[in-house]
Structure formats: structure tokens, C-alpha cells
Structure 1
Amino acid sequence: MLTDWLRRRWRPAPPPAPPLSPLDFTAPDVVQDPYPYFARLRREEPVHRGAGGAWLIARHADVQAALADPRLGNAPAPYAVIAPRNRTRYLCAEVAGNTLPFIDGARHAALRRTLAQAWAAQLRETPPDIDAHARRLWAACPARGQFDLLHDFATPLAVTVIGEVLGVPVAAREALQADARHFLYLFTAMPSHAVREATDAALGRLRHGFAHLLDGAAGPGLIRRLGGAAAQTLDREVLLDNLALLWADGIGNVDVGIAAAFAALLRHPEQWQALCAQPDLSPAAAGECLRFEAPAQFIGRVVQEDFDWHGQTLRRGQAVLLLLASANRDENRFPAADRLDIRRPDTGALSFGRGHHSCLGAALARGQLAAALQSAAERTPRLHLTQATVQWQVRPGHRWPHALPVTVP
């Protein structure tokens, strides 16, 4: 017994953790579960140089401050494929230079004001019946026994809602939907020349498709609304590219966000059952799921002038990635941050950014997620994941499941 006591008493200290390696968003373990890596960044190196050379900002307070910091701009880094120097070479660079997320200053303010006013007026005067769409689409799914919640429910819901808001005819939606995913490559590193070429081709088709709709818009919708007064003040290609942005973002981050939320809840069955017992908690549950599994892991900025931050020197022209997903799991802002809690008070998740560059469609996206959760919780409490492990796409900057097979016994 004395020997056992001495062994316990003098047990050697565990070896120190190895130094942080540059974080690689394409590493398989990071793709599958980035949150332990984010937690270590917050503890040890809140301003970290990632594997691609960009600075990663990990803590909630720092990310929130950076979103409003004029020393960090939105125009792409000089070496990026979508940088202004490539406008005449690649369509993706031209489109980036025309759209809200990649411009600053007075030009951004004027364009956002035009789009935001039209967006708000459209939703105020002709709001989509999101609840009815969600109920209709969900009613067709559980009867199958097994279905893919992402592709059979979430994507059709997102396409239906943004199509109705913009005024995209049903017959035109399938072709435009096929190109929407490529638009969102503007928000991450192009993985290959082939993807860049495919993205340019898709952007060209989106421009052509929205030009056709803009010229022939007869029904209600944002396209017709912007085809009036806004068409007199905006360059035509700027208008077309921002319509494509609203379309692509209204599908590509919404449907995967819905799927990721269901994945989180079904992997925490006590939370799913709590929601099924009180479906009116769906708006709060939607906010918590967006905090817990933000579909956009980071947003990019570019250093405008040299400055020091947490012992690191950030140089003009360097890329900075604001880790929204890490900020949303910051224990200093969210108690028990790694625990899903649908009754958690709204305490400042940054899933849609903050300030002048926040997501224009954030409220619409939240509304779709809440409607999706409520439709399922009211009708299908025995819903569960078909596979224990969710497979996530290798797509830096995006937390997107490949699919979400579910079963209704």
C-alpha cells in the first residue's frame, strides 16, 4: 500500500503539449472536427499563422473587434485568384470586384444601401410563406422511412424560398441551382485550376441566366424591383453579379445550415426531445444550432496597414481569417460553449458576421431554419440519424455535410 501511495504521490508530470503546428483546414481530422484545434488556438495562440500563410483570429472578442476594424479591409489579398489584378484574366475576379463582400468604403455603402432597401421592401410587401413551404416539403419526407434530409428537404426549401423572394420562375430554378455552389468558391481558396475554370463557367451562366430574368421580369420579386430604379444607378454587371450572390448564398449556406442543425440536434437526443416537447422553442434552437455549427467557419479580411496584435506583427497585404466558428465556441463568451443547449440565451454568436458587412439575408436564413425545425419537431419526434458519423466536405471556410441520411422508424 505504501508503494502504491508513493507511486501516486510522485507520479511524473505529463509531458508538455507539442508546439502548435500551422492549422491546415484540409487535414482530415480538422475537416471532421475542427473545434479542439480552435480551442487550443484560443488558449495558446489567438493570432495564429495558418498553413496557407493567413493569420487566424480565434477569440470571440478579437473576431468581433476585427469585424469593425478599419485596418482590415474586404478587397481580396493581392496574391488571391480573385484579386483585382486578375479582373481581365478570370471572371471570378471580376465578379468578386462587383459584389458586396469584397468591396469597401463609399462604393460598398452605396451598393449595400440600394440592395438592402430593395431586399427589406420585398420581404415587407411580399414575404414568402416559409412555414407553409417547410410543412409541405416535410410532409413528403418521413413517409419514405429513410431520406436525405439535406438533398430531399433542406435544399428544396432553400431554393423555393430564395426563388420566391428573387422572383425566379420555377422552370428556371433547376439550371440556376446547379451553378450556385460554384459561386461560393469566391469565399475560399480555389483548390485547383480545374475548379477555377469550372467556377468561371458557372459564373458566366449565372450572369446570362439573371440577365434573361432581369430583361423579362414580369412577376413579383426582387429581380423586378431592382430592374426598376436600381437599374438606372447600378452598372448592369454589378446588378447581375449581386443577384447571383443573393441566389447562391440563399441556397448554399442555408440548406447546409439546416442539415448541420439537424445533425447537431440528433447527435444530442436529449435536446431533440426537448424541442419535440416544445416546438415553439424552434427560433431559439435555430440560433443555438447556428452558434454550435456555423455553416461559414471563417470570413476573410486583408491587412491595410502594419500593426501588432497579441505579440504578432500583421503586415499590409496579408490575409486574415476571422474564425467565426471558433468565436462561437469561446468559453469566455458562452458558458459550457461545447454543449448544445436550445434554451441558451442569445449572447452574441457571430455566424452571420457583424456590422456593415453582415449577411443581408441573415433573418431569412434563421426563419427557414426555425420553420424546418418546427415542422420536424411537431411531426417526427422519432427521427434519428441513419449513420452515427456525419461526413463533412473538404471545403476550407465552410462547414458543409455531404449529405444527411435520416430514418423514421
Structure 2
Amino acid sequence: MTVEHTFAAMPAERQPGCPFDPPKEFIEAREQSPISRFTFADGHEGFLVTGYDLVRAVLADTRFSSRRELMVHHPTVDYGGMEVPPAPPGEFLMMDGARHSRYRKPLVGKFTVRRMRLLTERVEQVTAERLDAMEKAGPPTDLVAAFAKPIPGIMICELLGVPEEDRDYFQERVDKFHSGETSDEELMAAYTATTDYLAELVVAKRANPTDDVLSELTDSDLDDEELKGIALILMAAGLDTTANMIGLGTFALLRHPEQLAALRADPSIADQAVEELLRYLSVAKQFQRVALEDIELGGHIVPAGTTVVFSISTANRDPERFPEPHRLDLRRQNGGHLAFSHGVHQCLGQQLARVEMRAAFPALVTRFPTLRLAVPAEEVPLRPELADIYGVKSLPVTWDV
């Protein structure tokens, strides 16, 4: 195999009128080869992986590292040779091996399929309360603020034991982490304010444990600094990704009325619908790893120290894995999407996200059978392509009263 496609820069935006599709440059690259050469912002020569099988292989191979201190080459930012420190204690997403396991292992049992499904009744209650509030306020409304953000926000705050009066404070700061439009100064201020608060919360939970995950973790050998880092990861991941899936997913349904009608007519397909929306939208678009040794990938050697970017959104549109991949089909039977990643770093909270989306989508389209966009589709504001998580900034909707 030869690498025929070369990227000199990361695509900055999606095609007009195609807000749900990966950038066309990625799709064209995958059509030529599942792996392409990629030049990082600082001139580092790495690779971009777009094919499903190769992306899955990278995610499963522990010789590709996610350690933060190795992420010295960025697709769009030239760090100028600046050293990157290791991830702080507890922030396990950018760790490998024993350090990663130390923080992830105590959490696995707290996010099992069974335990998350036990939360279904509470998720459905929260969903119904948000729909009641929307109905009482009347149309139009911003679905992101009124529905998509509050559901995962309330649930992750309850799981961590964050007092109700502090939840808006958290949402505002998590938004700054992920918006892709925050200055470095604002980002650091949001990070500092959030971690300071979480440090106080850990101390409070240790002194007076309550019925929540963070309190349970205080009974382990993890110290306060480690618990603070774990809480930050759970809070940031639990709020932003699911909120954007609900917002962008609703936008996709409104743009595919035949699929929306199918879900409304048969809410029992909610499980399939959620999996298909996860595949089709892939809001966590791309990640990167660093080769710890020379590794053969797609017929090529990735030298040790080389950074590899992989596109989840493009892999989930690979026609060799998903027939008619650019078609949204809520009854699709093909599973195995990579929206929650794969391997040792597969999303810990994926079952909670599924429970939230399985409750949200059918309830929304059933409660408001005339739900529709309140603005032309091209006026719906999208997050910038460079944001960590893709989605809509807001989703103006209306319905008949």
C-alpha cells in the first residue's frame, strides 16, 4: 500500500449545507487510502488515519500512547518546542499503563450497564421535567439551553454530589473548556475556578459522605488531589459530549423528517436510533496518539515518536464497514461504531450517555409532534471545527401550541 494523500493542514470547516458530514477532505482522503501523511502546525511529519479498521487498530494498540507529555505536536497550533507537562493526578484520559489503571479501575464498577440502567427512572423524570418547563414557557426556545444541556448536567452533578445551587456555575465553565472559541486567559481562569471548587467539594465529601460516586471514592486509597482530577474529568466529559449529541442529534432528526417520523411512530427503536445517531454524528471527531516504537500500520512504518491523528467521524462513515454510510437510518443493524472510542480508553460513561439519549429523543419528539426549526437550517450556529466536541451552539425550535 502507498500513501497517496497528503495533508498540509487540518480542514477548518465543513461544507456549506453539510453540517453532519465530516469535512470533504477527510472523506476524499479515506477514498484514496485509510492512512495519509499529515504535516502538523510545527512542521512535524505524522499521519492521519481515516479508515475504520486502522482507527480501531490504533485505539486497541497500547504501543500508541495518549500520554499528555508526549503531545508536543498539535494539528493546528505550533507550540514552538514548548515542553508539555504530564497530566495532573487523576486526569486519566491522557495517561497510559499503571497510572491510567490506578484511576480508571475504581470507576469501572460505578458505571456498569446495570448500574446506569438503574438510573433510567431518574433520567426519565429529569427529561419529563425539562419538557414540562419547555411546554410551560412556550415556543420558541433554544433547545440546547432548555433541554440538551440540563439533562446530562443534572445527572452528572447528582452522580458527583454537586449541590444544585452550584450547577449553573459548572456548566458555564465546562462550556469554556470545549467551545473552541475561548481565549487562553479565559480557559485558564475557568480551569482554575473549577478545580478550586472541586478541591473544596472533595474535602466536604470526605468529611460528610453522601450517596454519590465522589463520596464512595473517598473510601479508597486515592488522595484529595487525585479525586479532584477524577471529578474534573467526569464532570467535563459527562456534561459536554452528551449535551452536544442531544442538540446536534435533534438538528439531524429535524433535517431528516422521515427518520424523525419513524422514531415518533415507534419509540421502541430508540436503542437503534441512539446508536445510529452516535455513528452518524460522531461529536468527538478526532484524537491523536504517539508511537512509542516503530509500528507497522496500513502497510507503512510509523516511526517511534511520530504523532498520529485519527478521525473518528470519518471512520464511522467508512463504506467498507457501514453500507451507505452517509445515510441516516435509525433502523440500521450495523453496530460497532467508534463514537465512544475503543480499547483501554473507551468512554467510561458511555452507558450513562446511552440512558440519557434513549430517554431524551423519543420523549422530545413525542411530546412535541410539530417540533421544527425556528430559523432556516443554514442559520443554526455550529461549533467551530476546531472545538474538541462538535455540535450546535444553540438550536432555535418552535412548535404549534
Q: TM-score, normalised by structure 1?
A: 0.84
3-state SS of paired residue (2:196): helix
Counterpart of 1:148, as a letter, is D
CA pair 253-283 structure 1, distance change in 2 beyond 3 A: same
Q: Which of the numbers 317, 335, 340 marks the counterpart of 1:347?
A: 335
Alpha-carbon spacing, 1:19–1:322, altered in 2? closer, same or farther (3 Å): closer
Deviates more, 1:393-402 or 1:194-203: 194-203
Aligned match for 2:394, one of 399, 403, 407: 403
Q: Residue 248 and residue 312 in structure 1: after superposition, are their counterparts in 2 closer, same or farther (change >3 A)?
A: same
The answer to whether structure 1 residue 378 and structure 2 residue 372 are counterparts is: no
1:155 pairs with 2:149: yes
State the distance in 1 between where 2:184 and 2:305 align: 22
Q: From 90, 94, 99, give the equivalent of 1:107.
A: 99
Matches within 5 A, 1:56-135: 56-76=48-68, 77-80=70-73, 85-87=83-85, 94-95=87-88, 98-120=90-112, 123=115, 127=119, 129-135=122-128
Shift of 1:279: 1.5
Distance 1:280 1:142 in 2: 24
Paired letter, 1:137:
R
CA offset at residue 195 of structure 1?
Answer: 3.0
Query: How far apart in 1 are the matches of 2:23 and 2:333?
Result: 21
Match of 2:347 among 339, 350, 359: 359
Corresponding residue to 2:170 among 171, 176, 179: 176
Give the Å deviation of 1:116.
1.8
Q: Distance in 2 between matches of 1:248 and 1:216?
A: 20
Distance 1:384 1:124 in 2: 31
- Give the residue type in structure 1 aligned to 2:163: P
Give the letter aligned to residue 227 of structure 1: T
Percent pairwise identity: 29
Q: 1:346 deviation in Å? A: 4.1
Q: 1:131 to 1:78 in 2, by over 3 A?
A: closer
1:44 aligned residue: 32
Structure 2 match to 1:234: 222
User: Letter of the aligned partner of 1:103 in structure 2?
Assistant: M
Structure showing greater radius of gyration is 1
For residue 225 of structure 1, what is the aligned residue in structure 2? 216
In the other structure, the counterpart of 1:22 is 8
How far the C-alpha of 1:22 sits from its partner, in A, is 3.3
Equivalent residue number for residue 388 of structure 1: 377
Q: 1:373 to 1:121 in 2, by over 3 A?
A: closer
Cα distance in 1 for residues equivalent to 2:352 and 2:163 = 19
Contact 1:127–1:165, Cα closer than 8 Å, also in 2: no
Would the alpha carbon gap of residues 366 and 120 (structure 1) be closer, same or farther in structure 2, given more than 3 Å must change? closer
CA distance in 1, matches of 2:346, 2:82: 22
AA aligned to 2:100 is H
Q: How far 1:28 moved relative to its partner?
A: 5.8
Q: Which residue pairs with 2:315 in the alignment?
A: 327
Shift of 1:313: 4.0
Measured against aligned partners, the alpha-carbon deviations of 1:242-291 in whole angstroms (never above 9, x if no partner) come to 10110111111110111111111111100001111112222211111111
The residue that corresponds to 1:277 in the other structure is 265
Q: How many residues align?
A: 376
- Match of residue 316, structure 1, among 292, 304, 309: 304
* Match status 1:292 vs 2:280: yes
Aligned partner of 1:170: which letter?
E
**Mind listing any 5+ residue stretches in structure 2 that lack a counterpart?**
74-78
The answer to whether the Cα contact below 8 Å between 2:214 and 2:231 also exists between their aligned partners in 1 is yes
Distance (whole Å) between structure 1 residues aligned to residue 325 and residue 49 of structure 2: 18
